Amino acid sequence: MLLGSIEAGGTKFICSVGDENLTVLDQVRIETTTPEITLGKVIEYFSQFADLDSLSIASFGPLNLDSASPAFGSILNTPKLLWKNVNIMTIIRDALNVPVFITTDVNGSAVGENLFLKQAGINLHSLVYLTVGTGIGAGIIVNDQILGSNGHPEVGHIRVIKHPDDADFHGTCPFHDGCLEGMAAGPSLKARTNIPGECLALDDPIWDRLAYYLAQAVGSLNLIIHPARIVFGGSVVNPQLLSKIKKDYVQLMNGYVATDHLDDFLIRSCVPNNGSATIGNFALARKLVRV
């Protein structure tokens, strides 16, 4: 089999070709500019592979994932205005003439993380992939299936209780005063300190606030869906922050639910080269191939 993967992000499209063992055979990085230019290059890239069997897209969103809708496969109300209402799935499918699957970027990564752990002998009944980067989002896997495949979990916008030191900070979300993403995604660091997150010292007290919010997110995820594991992706959750999150989470639960085995329960992604969405896409594309 020859399988295609498109990880469609706001700054770049990672396009890969792999085999049925989910091994990457070739990969290219295409800058996200206009739909015409970017998708043109994407199509040009995959057109080299005449034997391509199928392809899966893990895309930024919001996406229309309602297969009964005429707009199925299109990007919805995104702040990247040029991409609004672009039916990325149809464009790719019609140009390449292969079966195409589409899901959200976080769902693709969640599928990949789940498979990666499975290959390492760790079989989980459920897993949440929680990415904390420019935004915050989650993909949820239950019994090897994407949860809410026809919806788009928008975990980043759950409300959180403000840290006392954030009383005057409203967050960076244009919709909500004090949602998780507005208070704890990467841009919130710069919005508070005027220093980009990647330049902040690891012992800066600002990280305590992020831990406070992300621990609340872990709490709500655990109390609502009780996943076997939460895997952090994205650039924000460094090992120091993860330790703080664990500490705050224990305090927040206050003995009500078991908080042992936290080092297994809460981990950072361990897929090499940030490649969970690519592995996930290959697996999702593989399902489209009739054998």
Instruction: Tell me if 6 sits within 8 A of 56, measured CB to CB.
Output: yes
Amino acid identity, position 166: D
Q: Does 196 bind its own copies (CB under 8 A)?
A: no
Q: Does 291 bind its own copies (CB under 8 A)?
A: no
Taking the least distance from each CB to its own copies, the nearer of 110 and 158 is 158
Residue 217 structure tokens: 């997110």
Residue 31 structure tokens: 């800058």
Stretch near its own copies under the rule CB under 8 A, chosen from 16-24, 92-100, 172-180, 281-289: 172-180
| DSSP H/E element including 23 | none
Q: Which of 12, 84, 226, 268 binds its own copies (CB under 8 A)?
A: 226
Q: Does 144 bind its own copies (CB under 8 A)?
A: no
CA distance 216 to 158: 10
| DSSP H/E element including 40 | helix 35-47
Instruction: Give the distance from CA 244 to its chain's centroid.
Output: 22
Q: Does 123 bind its own copies (CB under 8 A)?
A: no
Q: Nearest Cα to 282, choosing from 12, 25, 86?
A: 25
CA distance 34 to 91: 14
Question: Helix (H, G, I), strand (E, B), or coil: what is residue 266?
Answer: strand
Q: Does 224 bind its own copies (CB under 8 A)?
A: yes
Instruction: Tell me if 15 sits within 8 A of 27, measured CB to CB.
Output: yes
Phi, psi for residue 232 in degrees, rounded to 5: -85, 130
Q: Which of 159, 250, 267, 288 binds its own copies (CB under 8 A)?
A: 159
Q: Which of 21, 51, 81, 256 binds its own copies (CB under 8 A)?
A: 256
**In the complex, least distance from residue 237 CB atom to its own copies, rounded to whole angstroms:** 18
**24-31 and 54-59 beta bridge pairing:** unpaired
Q: Does 252 bind its own copies (CB under 8 A)?
A: yes
CA distance 92 to 57: 9
Taking the least distance from each CB to its own copies, the nearer of 24 and 252 is 252
Q: Which of 134, 220, 238, 274 binds its own copies (CB under 8 A)?
A: 220
Q: Which of 257, 263, 270, 287 binds its own copies (CB under 8 A)?
A: 257
CA distance 175 to 93: 34
Stretch near its own copies under the rule CB under 8 A, chosen from 50-58, 67-75, 80-88, 160-168: 160-168
Q: Does 138 bind its own copies (CB under 8 A)?
A: yes
Q: Does 199 bind its own copies (CB under 8 A)?
A: no
Q: Does 122 bind its own copies (CB under 8 A)?
A: no
What string marks each residue from 40 to 79 as x (binds its own copies by CB under 8 A) or -?
----------------------------------------
Binding site for its own copies (CB under 8 A): 125-126, 138, 140, 142-143, 145, 147-148, 150-162, 175-176, 178, 216, 219-221, 223-226, 252-257
